[in-house]
Chains A and B, each alone.
Chain A
């Protein structure tokens, strides 16, 4: 498949295979016409964004490209003023973060979000609260998965940064998401911790859709099969992971020169 590159001013829809789009419309997450601005600064202007069941979709781009904003809008943390979001074929644009969480849209946070006063185990229990009667994995199994079993009784405030990231992930997984939104899960992790993270992410069930915002290209390479590059809130490049990673324009974007020129080549 060829790369589709979108001009900064001309919003052409993403060229995902029509089969993927159909699957996203029936069982996944579809956002159309998203625009988000702080005062006059437009941080996100995206014609469409689709996540089909089983997708491993990475969003990359330089700082300020609108990646986290997109994730927050999908999770319901930030309300969008324009556009429509559907999930499983129903419109959820006006639904809050709590509703979306219960519906199966789970997320982790850019700054790992933990409950400082609760123990690690209790935090995971709170994450899986709505499935506590019939959990797919018990809280202890989840802690085992992310390697925090030894810390189960510790207050979350006592954890190191890397452990907090893993706890955030375990809490998100406890909610048994069908779409998992990960906001820079590898940021600030050591190599060992990143290895553990990759082990967890690649071991997730095939039906679970993952949207990954990440700067760490090794992680993107290991997890994603489709990459969307955002630049100044717009889609810059869109395509299968290998092709996009090999694209010199994307590398130029990351190195900080080229930018829009590279996009127009």
Chain B
């Protein structure tokens, strides 16, 4: 009898966990941001706010790499388009933050749509190489097109945006942090929503077996192109946040380094998880900008160590960690008698 009640209690705990767990990540993130906001050090506020542009770039890379299955370094192109669009709007007296974000998203989507015409036709390593060329071309264009980018000196003294026409400019570090976090969270949530349901099913099918999907009449290249353009909008918003949090921009901000950091963030987060990409970006920049402050000159070394650790210790990224922990716990526990003991290849999908 005791075994029976025990089973019922564990069932109840499992039910509770199933209800609570999906909310744990957003709650933890909100608590983390609240803790940073409550911290008295304004340098930390500014540093934290400046993580969100790259976080959105990582989300964009994650959409293209994890959902469309095209490993890319080229999302810095729409990121740059969004950033320079925002910078010029602000320099020409348009201060409305919402307008900046909309214009940046549109510019990013357009650039990604153009690049996607080529990229969506290829797969695998070829995409990676082509997108590397796109990243390099972005930096070169940004440093050569002086009238737009101000050359390698970049654009400085960009006025701060206003949330609403009557409000004061967004200058306070705390306010900027909250604003950047809100924009990044909203954009990520919208992207997750758009990639859910049937679209997730279609993309999963295309990734799983492209020939079968095409034979069933699916416009595979078009699907991937649309996803690539949509990811461009996210990267464009990231570019707008880059201007809003830094208020200056140089070609180096939209170069290969950013692309590589974003890809590293995606690897750490788990290739198909958008919140994972955000967490990955925060970890990468946390190592580079917070931990490495005490070890001047060693940031690249620490990033390298982080990358090696991520690949060896976290195959599948942070998102795969709960499942891996559960599996290792199951190994530790004595085998239970019940439906769980059927052969592993017969286990039903739990998601």
Contacts and interface: CB of A to CB of B under 8 A. Distances in A.
Contacts of B201: 118, 122, 125-126
Contacts of B220: 98
B129 to A, nearest CB: 24
Contact of B204 (A102, A113, A118): A118
B128 interface: no
A113 B211 contact: yes
A133 B292 CA distance: 57
B215 interface: yes
Contacts of A53: none
A102 B208 contact: no
B211 A126 contact: no
A107 B217 contact: no
Contacts of B6: none
A129 B202 CA distance: 9
Residue of B201, B209, B218 most packed against chain A (CB within 10 A) = B209
A190 to B, nearest CB: 18
B213 interface: yes
Contacts, number: 85
B348 interface: yes
B137 interface: no
Given A122-B201, A154-B348, A98 B212 contact: no
Contacts of A107: 215
A86 B218 CA distance: 21
Given A106-B215, A129-B216, A158 B346 contact: yes
B205 to A, nearest CB: 5
Chain B interface size range? 20 to 34
Contact of B349 (A77, A155, A172): A155
A13 interface: no
B232 to A, nearest CB: 23
Interface string B311-351: 00000000000000000000000000000000001111100
B214 interface: yes
A168 B215 CA distance: 11
Interface string B125-169: 000000000000000000000000000000000000000000000
Contacts of B12: none
B209 A115 contact: yes
B219 interface: yes
A101 B204 contact: no
A171 B216 contact: yes
Contacts of A125: 201
Interface in B219-262: 219-220
B216 A101 contact: yes
Given A98-B220, A126-B202, A129-B202, A171 B345 contact: no
B215 A115 contact: no
A96 interface: yes
B207 to A, nearest CB: 8
A127 interface: yes
Nearest to B219: A98
Nearest to A123: B205
A101 B218 CA distance: 8
A248 B123 CA distance: 48
A109 B202 contact: no
B216 A96 contact: no
Nearest to B207: A117
B216 A153 contact: no
A109 B208 contact: no
Interface in A170-198: 171-172, 174-175
Contacts of A153: 348-349
Contacts of B347: 158
Contacts of B211: 77, 97, 109, 113
Interface of B: 201-202, 204-205, 207-209, 211-220, 345-349
**10 closest residue pairs by CB, A with B:** A101-B217, A102-B217, A113-B212, A115-B208, A97-B214, A126-B205, A115-B205, A127-B216, A98-B214, A158-B345
Given A99-B217, A116-B208, 10 more contacts: A77-B214, A98-B220, A109-B212, A113-B215, A122-B205, A123-B205, A153-B348, A153-B349, A154-B348, A174-B216
